[in-house]
Structure 1
């Protein structure tokens, strides 16, 4: 039986690797198909001036299927590649000009074929509606891939996310997280402007899809790199939504209210007032169906992105699992995403976003957003922990209620002093009030099933936190081209207060005797109050000077300095049994910790750009210093550590064509430990598992290499990508696990050698029949190699137990994860449908105990369909079948999540709708997750939202100025296919258009 299972696993691996090779070969083959190269020119009637940016489409005579397409250059010239011999229809379109249609015959020839000059006449009445035919569904502009929204149909009342899901090469998971060409999308802009700060979900899950003229996917460089034109390796994938002209001048929005069974409700309103450069958006929502439609920590997302590895312990970051619509698909039902969130949440949120230009020099974007959530969560987890050559098993049951209230304000001010000087200022402030109540119990057994320990804990906490950050970038251009100077200053300030009450009862059984012996267990009862305060501030500055060396080369000199200070004060008090007050200081769990981290970097870089190749090489000399001191029980512990690293940078960008590009990046960064990792104190007293910091930690240094290959085929409009990533960490921060004779556990962070990870992903997005069908497929493989240490101590562990490495064993955790996704969509006027499948294979090895190698898999099959019927009726249903294997106990049971709904248009102008939905029809929804971290394998099952139905009323309101073709159509549907839409050159994103 085991052998058969292993053979099946091996077959799955072989099939997956075979698929990766097949789609890579398929794409390569499609690029090497040779045809005839056809060229020509386009000029204006009368003036004979060349027309640039005209759209050229060569289509079949029979069904107008696109054969090849191009955009005319500055000289009016165009080139059509890989054209087969035959007779075709040539269409040339340009805004404000009459469309030219002409049949052309292409004869086979070994040299490029010139088909002559084509003259476009000016439209007689340009104020009337201009209908452009033959629009290109995909355009490529340097670092930007642009999709024409008219070529991707969405239903009425759809949001931006529904449009993005239909684009080739774009994937959205069950939490709304977007990937484009295999990379995470960090921001979503509207007409090149920030929309509610750094929160992409507010734009994608609230703005209507019918406002979209184009979707631009951009590899955005940092503000400083965009200015200096020298790559600093800081690149993020962003999306820019270019709105239709009609939406740029008027009011639009919608309001909705839904109520259903079990007192479920969902209400929301969004109002937008756009007038040219001025944008005002107001948003409000309230529901108890786990729908947030925003990102909880968006206020700090930029900081998290740039410092994502700071102080992180490397410990087998491998996880997965099923439950709801996790990980692979977004259900078509409007509220179905709430079925995939753990717990039951009530959410209230709202905010305002403002943007405007004041004259030609000043541009301002600002937003305020608040959210309040209350979540009830019940979880059961099963944990297998490796203890040398054996394992222990723990079952935890936890019930919690958390309440969070957050306010965040963000601002961006761009001031163009003159043609040579500019200032960019970005301040952000967030304030949070949090509280929680938690009850938990656990039972731990040994490998043979005998009881080791058990615990019961209850706690409650209340806290506040205030965070602010500012960045100020001054940019100076000199008269000499490519000579620049810039200074980037940043600072942050944070403070927090937390009051925590905790009661616990811990029972430890004497495992030196056989269960049932007369040895009495050890029982410890704790009742404590903690008063915690944290403060911190940081400052950094970066200076950069660039100088042209030759026509093709530029030099950059830069200097970076940063300093951060953190203070943590914790005072513990025992409950006085006489007074009932917490007035007895407990010095064992009280401490004060101060930490200062200083980082400096001197850098030089040379960039060369010639023809299709651009490469940058740089070298940095980087020093870091950690100073910390800790007060524990009237004793002061001081620690100081300095380190020095060479920090090289390198990048290579090669454009095979303007549609096929290769990018390779290398970057080295220094990362400081967190305050909790440095504090040499126990953070969770009276628990069988104690965490203690390590004041001797060193800063880690990460080497990152990334390779990205991307190709857009303008003949088929397919998009192929391949990404490769490798990262190794010097002095990586991992964990040291020490076990006492009664299986008590002490966990301490430490620096290790040998940690690295690697990943590869590939994908192909391909439309067919003028985007009537779209196929998206992707595959990925990830490998983690993490180090930790384990020791069995012969003596009981106490606060005063000295920690040494005598007898410690080195454990290597290796984890392999394979994933494959396949999704096809159908888009017609009457039917929209999706069929998708997903497979994840995970395996982990522990060097210290080979018998605990873990294999687990998950499979998902998903389908949905929407039918547009007469009389304004739309019916829909979606279904997902989930299979898990390799989990603990009964967690491998398959389940089906099925939802259905219907929508009816109301009123003469169809601005209103009434909707009915029923979710989780079969009452089978569940949440299951496995995570592997260091020496722990954890299976978790959580409570989750289950079956309910809801009636919802929606009203759309809009008032637009007459802007011609780009106005929304009265029935809410846009022109679709080759005879609709148009190429609007306005409203682009400056980062991708230079």
Structure 2
């Protein structure tokens, strides 16, 4: 047997032999007493095993540092990756949900659990594809799953409380501290969390950023990079970059950031008939940044430089309340109600100067200054009401989901700028106050009926009806020098309008499950109507679309450990109202944006083919995924540039969007002590059109990204982790050959964790970033050396001393490449700092 070895020890015979060898019997020894022991079982738990479709890791087999959190444990697991920004991938897919003993922890934001729960509470880590509520109810597998990690706590942690308190200080006012207390009692979970720091550790909740941006996509441009890093964790969110240097900015956020976040989480399963999930979460984030951006335009018909420098201060405050009541009414009926409340405020204050010059830098084309202050408040209330009915006939079900939502957005801005266009000998100025108010209501309904046609085949009929209506107001007022107030309405930038969208989707799908093959194939007919009306500016917009959207999901199991998956999906996207309205946005004086009333909907087609193999006995894991996608009538920007360097930017529809990637990785043990090596690579191709001054161009880009991850355990007291990845980027233009670029970007790290005598642990890490192939002044290597020492004081306290960026090399020099230009960037970043912290460990459990 591989997992258990039973050894029966014949103690009597062995005892007699040892006695005879070590102590001769005396004359008084007239008899030998004997006693037979019970059977002794020696259990050997494998580090990784398969339980159905779930990969389960035994946490005790993966050593972590003292006071480690779950994220540190995940980094040790073969087949699981945690990048510098905290994004988690498992089996090649992004993890979108973290559960604790099967229950949600602070909603759907994975980072809250992985960055705060202690690793020593974990018994097992389970990686699975979690079905949606609809899939779990109907039993029809259509591939609509979320890659999920379930944290199974140790049995002795299920009744009691645990957590820690920490407080740390350093020179120049640096601080970090927090409270994390968790109380588990059977099916009841209660957690309190609060943390604060000013050392660039983000507390943003990615799920709330999605809701915030859904109501106002324009807010994306004002988000700090650390918030974007958190946003990129969400499943279905793709933040693309033409340059790997931007990824470094996400991994090492720019600016000097101050964060406070915390909340309360309460879950309870009173019975199978009533289950509760609830949480409240708050975060506050401020960021101060000094920057200088040097942009070089290389267009087919013109070339010039644009330089801007300035200072910005941002502050975001977010409140979120989540709840879920799952009620089983009787044997055939159930009801699930999931309300959500979200409130967000964002403030931005910036001062900058800018100028444009000829390509050789000798002629000044324009120059200007700008002061911009904005304030935005966004409140939303929504909830899912899910009713499920199961008929007596097996496989026959009916479910209805109703989702009402209310959004309210208020914003105000003050834009003061002075601009001088030297070649035209012209000057203009802006001193304008812009106020906006919007309220929108939506109601989404989803009706699903399933019928079992035969033993292996089922029918699913779906009807979706969604309606959204909103009233919007934007008023621009110029400064009145006569009375010193902003009371002169500027109709050019003002608008009062309403918008309505109705969407109806009818879908017919057939699902099958035959031996090793599972599939779902269907066809949707989507009817959508979008219309807007403005009496203020006297325009009407109305578009009507009928679109056929096929979809297919299939999975073939060669064995329990090997499977092949295919997923094809198509999706229609309507243009946003800000992209349609014929009104100018002059928040950046040299880059004016204007809507396009002729914009049409876009349709995306995506195909994924994946092969997965897990050999738990050999501890090998392999994953290969091919992804292909194309977008018809995609929204893209068309630029018109005049002789002064001013740009007018309008969205337009374009074809020619093609994306493809081939990703593969293989993980295997290298030494019998648990050490593992993971090798991977990805080859990607992107193609997209570009428009400048009515000249159509095509951008093509190849990217190759090899990577490795080596976890080495030479002795029990030492853990070594070596990681690295490289990116080769080849980007070229079809029309403008001079705009092409080729370069390598390297990111690699080495970490040591050592257990020392006297209850001490030491850790050291070196992170390096190297860029080649750019201008000589921007080809550099940044090395970040970090060290820490932890000393346990009794069973309750620990003293932690750390030093970050000991070499003081952290900088923000980078280069990005976009349509028609390359830009060299420099931002202020957090440099070397030291911190000493006292940690109090709280732990009390019932035996």
Q: Is TM more than 0.5 here?
A: yes
2:242 matched to 1:318? yes
SS at match of 2:485: coil
Match of 1:352 in 2: 264
Q: Does structure 2 conserve the Cα–Cα contact (< 8 Å) formed by 1:758 and 1:782?
A: yes
2:544 matched to 1:642? yes
Match of 1:710 in 2: 612
Match of 2:314 in 1: 402
Change (3 A) 1:204 1:313: closer
2:815 matched to 1:939? no
| Cα offsets for 1:587-636 (capped at 9, x unmatched) | 111112322222211111111111111122111111222112235xx431
Q: Does structure 2 conserve the Cα–Cα contact (< 8 Å) formed by 1:313 and 1:749?
A: no
Change (3 A) 1:727 1:566: farther
Match of 1:514 in 2: none
2:617 matched to 1:731? no
Task: Report 1 or 2 for greater relative contact order, CA contacts < 8 Å, sequence distance ≥ 6.
Answer: 1
Change (3 A) 1:595 1:855: farther
Change (3 A) 1:131 1:188: farther
| Cα offsets for 1:110-166 (capped at 9, x unmatched) | xxxxxxxxxxxxxx999xxx9862112222234321111121111220000000000
Greater displacement, 134-143 / 243-252: 134-143
SS at match of 2:778: coil
Q: Work out the CA distance in 1 between the residues paired with 2:336 and 2:811.
A: 47
Q: Does structure 2 conserve the Cα–Cα contact (< 8 Å) formed by 1:174 and 1:325?
A: no
Candidates 821, 827, 835, aligned match of 2:707: 821
2:599 matched to 1:697? yes
Candidates 324, 331, 341, aligned match of 1:429: 341
SS at match of 2:585: coil
Deviation at 1:944, TM superposition (A): 0.8
2:393 matched to 1:480? yes
Candidates 734, 742, 748, aligned match of 1:855: 742
Q: Work out the CA distance in 1 between the residues paired with 2:240 and 2:833.
A: 38
Match of 1:231 in 2: 141
Change (3 A) 1:937 1:132: farther
Match of 1:468 in 2: 381
Candidates 579, 601, 604, aligned match of 2:483: 579
Count of residue pairs brought into register by the alignment: 802
2:495 matched to 1:495? no
Q: Does structure 1 conserve the Cα–Cα contact (< 8 Å) formed by 2:710 and 2:721?
A: yes
Candidates 555, 562, 565, aligned match of 2:466: 562
Q: Does structure 1 conserve the Cα–Cα contact (< 8 Å) formed by 2:609 and 2:625?
A: yes
Deviation at 1:739, TM superposition (A): 1.9
Change (3 A) 1:314 1:640: farther
2:185 matched to 1:281? no
Deviation at 1:320, TM superposition (A): 1.7
Match of 2:500 in 1: 596
Match of 1:925 in 2: 810
Q: Work out the CA distance in 2 between the residues paired with 1:373 and 1:485.
A: 44
Greater displacement, 889-898 / 704-713: 889-898
Match of 1:795 in 2: none
Candidates 497, 515, 523, aligned match of 1:611: 515
| Cα offsets for 1:622-671 (capped at 9, x unmatched) | 1222112235xx43111111111111111110011111111111111111
2:624 matched to 1:722? yes
2:819 matched to 1:915? no
Match of 2:792 in 1: 905
2:676 matched to 1:766? no
Q: Does structure 2 conserve the Cα–Cα contact (< 8 Å) formed by 1:198 and 1:299?
A: no
Q: Does structure 1 conserve the Cα–Cα contact (< 8 Å) formed by 2:739 and 2:820?
A: no
Q: Work out the CA distance in 1 between the residues paired with 2:9 and 2:554.
A: 42
| Cα offsets for 1:932-967 (capped at 9, x unmatched) | 3433433322211101111110010100111xxxxx
Q: Does structure 2 conserve the Cα–Cα contact (< 8 Å) formed by 1:366 and 1:409?
A: yes
Q: Does structure 1 conserve the Cα–Cα contact (< 8 Å) formed by 2:141 and 2:518?
A: no
2:49 matched to 1:139? yes
Match of 1:84 in 2: none
Deviation at 1:685, TM superposition (A): 5.5
Deviation at 1:314, TM superposition (A): 11
Deviation at 1:318, TM superposition (A): 2.1
Change (3 A) 1:313 1:542: closer
SS at match of 2:441: strand
Change (3 A) 1:323 1:421: closer
Change (3 A) 1:316 1:302: closer
2:421 matched to 1:508? yes
Q: Work out the CA distance in 2 between the residues paired with 1:142 and 1:820.
A: 31
2:538 matched to 1:626? no
Q: Work out the CA distance in 2 between the residues paired with 1:298 and 1:367.
A: 13
2:775 matched to 1:873? no
Q: Work out the CA distance in 1 between the residues paired with 2:485 and 2:478.
A: 8
SS at match of 1:647: strand
Q: Does structure 2 conserve the Cα–Cα contact (< 8 Å) formed by 1:782 and 1:817?
A: yes
Match of 1:811 in 2: 697
2:78 matched to 1:168? yes
Match of 1:371 in 2: 283
Q: Work out the CA distance in 1 between the residues paired with 2:438 and 2:153.
A: 44
Q: Does structure 2 conserve the Cα–Cα contact (< 8 Å) formed by 1:906 and 1:913?
A: yes
Deviation at 1:400, TM superposition (A): 0.5
Deviation at 1:296, TM superposition (A): 5.0
Q: Work out the CA distance in 1 between the residues paired with 2:289 and 2:751.
A: 30
Change (3 A) 1:566 1:672: farther
Match of 1:217 in 2: 127
Q: Work out the CA distance in 1 between the residues paired with 2:138 and 2:658.
A: 33
Candidates 174, 193, 206, aligned match of 2:116: 206
Report the TM-score when normalising by structure 1.
Answer: 0.77
Q: Does structure 2 conserve the Cα–Cα contact (< 8 Å) formed by 1:639 and 1:696?
A: no
Deviation at 1:930, TM superposition (A): 3.9
Q: Work out the CA distance in 2 between the residues paired with 1:168 and 1:454.
A: 54
Q: Does structure 2 conserve the Cα–Cα contact (< 8 Å) formed by 1:316 and 1:813?
A: no
Q: Work out the CA distance in 2 between the residues paired with 1:314 and 1:303.
A: 14
Change (3 A) 1:777 1:606: same
Report the TM-score when normalising by structure 2.
Answer: 0.90
Change (3 A) 1:313 1:565: farther
Q: Work out the CA distance in 2 between the residues paired with 1:230 and 1:930.
A: 48
Q: Does structure 2 conserve the Cα–Cα contact (< 8 Å) formed by 1:323 and 1:926?
A: no
Deviation at 1:477, TM superposition (A): 1.4
Unpaired runs of 5+ residues, structure 1, are 1-55, 58-90, 103-123, 328-339, 511-519, 792-807, 963-994
2:589 matched to 1:684? no
Q: Does structure 1 conserve the Cα–Cα contact (< 8 Å) formed by 2:509 and 2:521?
A: yes
Q: Work out the CA distance in 2 between the residues paired with 1:99 and 1:540.
A: 63
Match of 1:28 in 2: none
Deviation at 1:498, TM superposition (A): 1.1
Q: Does structure 2 conserve the Cα–Cα contact (< 8 Å) formed by 1:630 and 1:679?
A: no
Q: Work out the CA distance in 2 between the residues paired with 1:652 and 1:876.
A: 46
Change (3 A) 1:409 1:869: same
Change (3 A) 1:628 1:185: same
Q: Work out the CA distance in 2 between the residues paired with 1:350 and 1:580.
A: 43
Deviation at 1:261, TM superposition (A): 1.2
